[in-house]
Amino acid sequence: MRPRREDDPVDRPRKVLCVVGARPNFMKMAPILEAMRPYGDTLRPVLVHTGQHYDAAMSDVFFDDLDIPAPDRFLSVGSGSHAEQTGRTMMAFERCVAEEAPDLVVVVGDVNSTLACALVAAKAQVPLAHVEAGLRSRDPSMPEETNRRVADLLSDLLFTHCREADENLLGEGIDPSRILFAGNVMIDSVLRWRSRARAPRGFAGAGLPEGGYGLVTLHRPALVDDPSKLVPFVGTLVGLSREVPFLYPVHPRTLGKMREFGLVPEGFEADLSPLPGSRLHLCPPLRYLEFLWVMDRARLVVTDSGGIQEETSALGVPCLTARDNTERGVTLTEGTARLVGTDPAALPRAVAETLSRPRPGPRLPERWDGRAARRIAALLDAWARGEPDLGAVLQRLVTPAATRAAPAPGPTAPGHRPSRPEAPA
């Protein structure tokens, strides 16, 4: 850990820049911000939205659904190539760091904002924490693999969500004292908001029976930008939809590619309508609570997303991962996911085998218990107070007595400051 200045008073709250940039970050940061509220005497979170992905459908509605406060800083980075986006984020975040003078930067996940803000923090000699550290696909062609590897290398605190991630970091020579197995913050959000999830408008009349449809999410450029891959994949889904209907919430960019490749007829509206001659229904991107609802009620999910592999495991929904590798191996060994590859010819057999078996129950690996964010907040509080051994703090937090004393946080009334948790720290 980069040392605190000798003249730095220990009795002031530590300013913590909490960075989000894209849709997957929001459900990871939301429970952390909530869990930090009781630590106002030691931690002062400042929410920074880089604007890496920004429109009302992909950003604002997630803040509303997850009760995330409005960002304190919005950097308006926008889209672009990986280099353009990373460079613009670094320039904007460097100015933010200079103006805010933070004591700690917290990044989550593996998007370009994660990499850019980690680099800025390291160059500015600001301590850095990475939530969801240690994930490895070992596929150098994935931009996310570069992002997460560099962020881990630069981070002072590495909050992991599974034992496999710990082993990956140790195998790369990371100091064990920097590795803190806190649990899965994305599952915190799933468990908290599952009971409040709601159906998308118009779903009841769309011909998608609860428990009897498949859910599709395909968004990676390696798949959707290549007509030799996307065209046969969509064709396979159209064929499979004769046996089981599918819902595909499609990103506007992907829908544009589908139009370009002749997969969507002129004038077709992605409003839960099926493609002509099929039961493959398309709709716009869904709000978080809507997507959680349709995922929870799906018979199976076909996805190339990382986080959805974890969410389906927690919900007990079979997940067919349309990738040749995954950084989330725990979903294969302890969850409900199965790698089916990117060749659509393998999909019909995988779907048939899945439909032949009952839907599994929820599968929650170690510390996917809805309390990960509380552990992270308690560890950040211990760091702010100068505790020398955060590993020992974590061990106290995961004892049965501490777990019983730490109920999951709920919504806080306006103007009410929560009391400090009684879990040992």
Q: Report the C-alpha gap between 244 and 239 in whole angstroms.
A: 9
Q: Report the C-alpha gap between 236 and 53 in whole angstroms.
A: 30
Catalytic residue among 219, 251, 281, 416: 219
Q: Report the C-alpha gap between 78 and 56 in whole angstroms.
A: 13
Contact predicate 215/206, CB 8 Å: no
Other residues' Cβ atoms within 10 Å of the Cβ of residue 347 = 21
What tokens appear for 425 in the block? 């720290």
Contact predicate 254/223, CB 8 Å: no
Residue 315: strand, helix, or coil:
helix
Contact predicate 162/136, CB 8 Å: no
For residue 68, what are the CA distances in angstroms to 34, 54, 132, 340? 8, 15, 19, 35
- To the query of whether residue 219 is one of the catalytic residues in this protein, the response is yes
Q: Report the C-alpha gap between 347 and 327 in whole angstroms.
A: 21
Where do we find the tokens 């809805």? 370
For residue 71, what are the CA distances in angstroms to 10, 18, 150? 27, 10, 26
Where do we find the tokens 């994930």? 135
Where in the sequence numbering do the catalytic residues fall?
219
